[in-house]
Amino acid sequence: MTLAGARERRVRTGGIELCVAELGAPERPTVVLVHGYPDSKEVWSEVAARLADRFHVVLYDVRGHGRSTAPRPLRGGFTLEKLTDDFLAVVDAVSPDRPVHVVGHDWGSVQSWEFVTVRRTEGRVASFTSLSGPSLDHFGHWIAGRLRRPTPRRAAQLLGQGARSWYVYLLHTPVLPELAWRGPLGKRWPALLERFEKVPGGDHPAPSLPTDAAHGAWLYRDNVRARLRRPRQDPYAHVPVQLITPLGDAFLSPQLYDELERWAPRLTRRTLPAGHWTPRTRPDQLTAWVTEFVTAVEGGRSEVTTGGRHADRFGGQLVVVTGAGDGVGRATALAFAEAGARVMAVDRDAESAARTAELARLMGASAAWAETVDVSDERAMEKLAERTAAAHGVVDVLVNTAGVGLSGSFLDTTAEDWRRLLDVNLFGVIHSCRLFGGQMAERGQGGHIVNIAATASHRPTRASRALPAYITSKTAVLTLSECLRAELADRGIGVSAVCHGPDRSANWAPEKVAQAVVEAVTDNKGVVRRRWPKRVRNR
């Protein structure tokens, strides 16, 4: 992995040299990306390349990692105080006249919490985005609070985080971590990341991994025990903070951040259904959130908020809705827009799709656009999936609402009627699930698919006599959804079927269906069923 087009410089500080890379125009706001353990700055390459279109992006190898030199002796050379010295030296070199926006992952986040809570950095940092790395001071207070006021829930939280932190204990042992990283662990690490974290292969991590990891063990030894036992009493963030919490992080419990508002009053929370190495697995999502947050702070706002109740879950996520030109499709697109998602409105009617995208932007979507496609056209759907992935990344949530209705008895329905209806209602769903779902599976970081079925799909009613073709198509969609749910569960992809009655029925107005869709994704529900209104069931 390389930082294509990066400008490199060496910054001297505290007897070492730091390797610093820059992308983008220096006159733009500066975003500093700080890597974690056992990575080097190249872990940020995908995010850095995307941010460089809008910002002056700076990355550096933490002391003892990548192409930066290591302190001698190693013991005592990796304290948070010395890491802060390094950060200030880099900032003074790359942005002497303006504060910078910091984004930290893993140990990059741990040390960045120090940068934004000590007095000597005030005025040099404009904002901080934290990924998978708590402040050791906050962590220490979190532990102390649970020990002082124990409850069954708090005890479970302590035990749970203690189990997730197994590697910390190992890294404190003498010599063994160094031998492991320079031996079998270092050789197998890329394969382990790809298997368990779904990190794409290639030339990640850096060739310096064994040495980086051996040196980086001192990050833990020099800091963890001391800070957890005696945390600072005033570790308050003096800048706006954006916290991004991967819900699938194998090393850090989301509950670790329950009381963070105490220490970071200007806090924006985000959650992401992903694993620990989000800079490599979800660069598009991180880029969108960092861009939005930095732009807001540069514009004088300290938080990024939307009116939707699910903004922390879907803000910035890519949501594709087929049949979004009106009815349930439009209502669904707007529901995700209100939660701050990036919304792609797909419909065969260009004017209706464009209107939905316009409304989505007004409702709070972080981005919204329209695509004109007939979902029954397999080749057109293939081109749409390819175009979407190339321009916007892999879809996070796919909602298939596109469909056509057909009334009339079975004997009055022609073969051509059947073909036309099944092409849209069934094969449109098949094309969409196969193409976008395949991209989700290949990415390896999960996702969700929602297919719209009908209430009568699982419980035929008297009304079914007038809708045999429609009900048959929707029953097939329900069965397909249940099969897909079973098949894709191991890949972390949820599949839901939302069964509803006529769009204008009393119980199932489009807005209510849309809310059911959002909740189906949030709660990973398999099938959402509602009865038709009594006057419809008994017709």
Regarding whether 137 and 94 lie in a shared domain, the answer is yes
CATH code, domain with 289: 3.40.50.1820
- Residue 236's identity, in one-letter code, is Y
**What tens digit of pLDDT does each residue of 393-416 get?**
899 999 999 988 777 778 778 898
Q: Are residues 253 and 376 in the same domain?
A: no
CA distance 477 to 470: 11
Q: What is the mean pLDDT of residues 473-484?
A: 94
| Domain end call among 298, 324, 340 | 298
Q: Which domain holds residue 374?
A: 311-537
Average pLDDT over residues 373-391: 95
Tokens for 349, please give them. Answer: 């009617």
Number of domain units in the chain: 2
CA distance 382 to 351: 22
CB 30 within 8 A of CB 94: yes
Does 263 map to a domain?
yes
Tokens standing for residue 64: 């003892």
Asked whether residue 537 carries a pLDDT value surpassing 50, the answer given is no
Query: Are residue 281 and residue 321 in the same domain, yes or no?
Result: no
**In this structure, what token pair is assigned to residue 123?**
């005025």
Residue 345: is its pLDDT beyond 50?
yes
Interior angle at CA 387, CA 310 and CA 340, nearest 5: 15
Q: How far apart are the first and last CA of the chain?
A: 65
pLDDT for the residue numbered 288: 86
Higher-pLDDT residue of 379, 535? 379
pLDDT at 506 over 70: no
Same domain, yes or no: 232 and 341: no
In a domain, 303, yes or no: no
**Residue at 62 is within a domain:** yes
Whether 305 is in a domain gets the answer no
pLDDT tops 70 at residue 465:
no
- What is the number of alpha carbons within 13 Å of residue 313 lying toward its C-beta? 16
Which residues have a catalytic role annotated?
470
DSSP 456: G
Residue 2 forms part of a structural domain: no
In the numeric block, the tokens 């903004």 are attached to: 311
Identify the pLDDT of residue 458.
Answer: 56
pLDDT of res. 203:
56
Which CATH number is 404's domain given? Answer: 3.40.50.720
Same domain, 316 and 276: no
Task: Report the residue count for the chain.
Answer: 539
- Same domain for 500 and 419? yes
- For range 95-99, the mean pLDDT: 97
User: Torsion over CA of 367, 372, 376 and 381, rounded to 10 degrees?
Assistant: -60
Give 314: exposed, middle or buried? Use CB within 10 Å, 0-12, 13-18, 19+: buried
State residue 532's pLDDT score: 44
Most confident of 86-95, 187-196, 202-211: 86-95
The answer to the question of residue 164 being in a domain is: yes
Q: Which has more pLDDT, 197 or 495? A: 495
- Is the confidence at residue 334, as pLDDT, over 70? yes
pLDDT, mean of residues 297-323: 83
Assess whether 286 and 320 both reside in one domain: no
What is the pLDDT, as a whole number, of residue 200? 77
Distance, CA of 493 to CA of 482 (rounded, Å): 13
* Rounded Cα gap, residues 478 and 472, in angstroms: 10
Matching residue, tokens 């700076």 = 58
Query: H-helix or E-strand containing 495?
Result: strand 493-500
For the beta carbon of residue 156, count every other beta carbon within 10 angstroms. 12
Residue 451: CB atoms within 10 Å: 27
Q: In this structure, are residues 110 and 140 in contact, taking their beta carbons and an 8 Å threshold?
A: no
Q: How many CA atoms lie within 13 A of 321 on its CB side?
A: 35
The answer to whether the beta carbons of residues 91 and 19 sit under 8 Å apart is no
Asked if 286 and 423 sit in the same domain, the reply is no
Domain boundary residue among 298, 326, 341? Answer: 298
The b-or-e profile of 176-211 (16+ CB within 10 A means b, else e) is ebbebbeeebbeebbeebeeebbbeeeebbbebbbb
- The answer to whether residue 306 sits within a structural domain is no
Tokens 């002056």 locate to 56
pLDDT at 505: 46
- The answer for residues whose C-beta is within 8 angstroms of residue 295's C-beta and 6 or more apart is 54
pTM of the predicted model, to two decimals? Answer: 0.80
Give the strand pairing for 7-13 and 16-23: antiparallel
Percent of the chain with pLDDT over 90: 73
pLDDT at 504: 45
Question: What is the dihedral sign for C-alpha 375, 381, 385, 387?
Answer: negative
Q: Does residue 304 sit within a domain? A: no
Q: Residues 95, 228: one domain? A: yes
Closest alpha carbon to 264 in 154, 147, 432, 134: 134
Examine residue 184 and say whether the peptide bond preceding it is cis (omega within 30 degrees of 0).
Answer: no
**Token digits of residue 530:** 């509602």
At residue 502, the pLDDT reads 54
3-state percent helix, strand, coil for the chain, nearest multiple of 5: 50, 15, 35
Which pLDDT belongs to residue 471? 86
Q: What is the pLDDT of residues 523-534, one digit of tens each?
A: 999 999 865 444
Same domain, 228 and 331: no
Taking residues 2-16, what's their average pLDDT? 91
Higher per-residue pLDDT: 95 or 274:
95
Residue at a domain's end among 246, 269, 298: 298
- Which stretch, 216-220, 271-275, 298-302, 535-539, has highest mean pLDDT? 216-220
Distance CA 355, CA 325 (A): 8
> How many Å apart are CA 82 and CA 88, to the nearest integer?
10
State how far the alpha carbon of 289 is from the alpha carbons of 30, 313, 364, 389, in Å: 16, 12, 14, 18
Whether residue 183 is found in the same domain as residue 110: yes
Q: Are residues 273 and 395 in the same domain?
A: no
Answer whether 371's CB lies under 8 Å from 342's CB.
no
**Cα 325 from Cα 353, distance rounded (Å):** 5
- Give, in degrees to the nearest 5, the angle at Cα 127 between 83 and 24: 85
- pLDDT greater than 80 at residue 539: no
Higher pLDDT: 467 or 501? It is: 467
Q: Specify whether the CB–CB gap between 22 and 48 falls below 8 A.
A: no
Task: Output the 3-class SS for 232-290.
Answer: CCCCCCCCCEEEEEECCCCCCCHHHHCCHHHCCCCEEEEEECCCCCHHHHCHHHHHHHH
Q: Check if the beta carbon of residue 333 is closer than 8 Å to that of residue 367.
A: no
Mean pLDDT of 62-72: 97
Question: What is the overall mean pLDDT for the chain?
Answer: 90
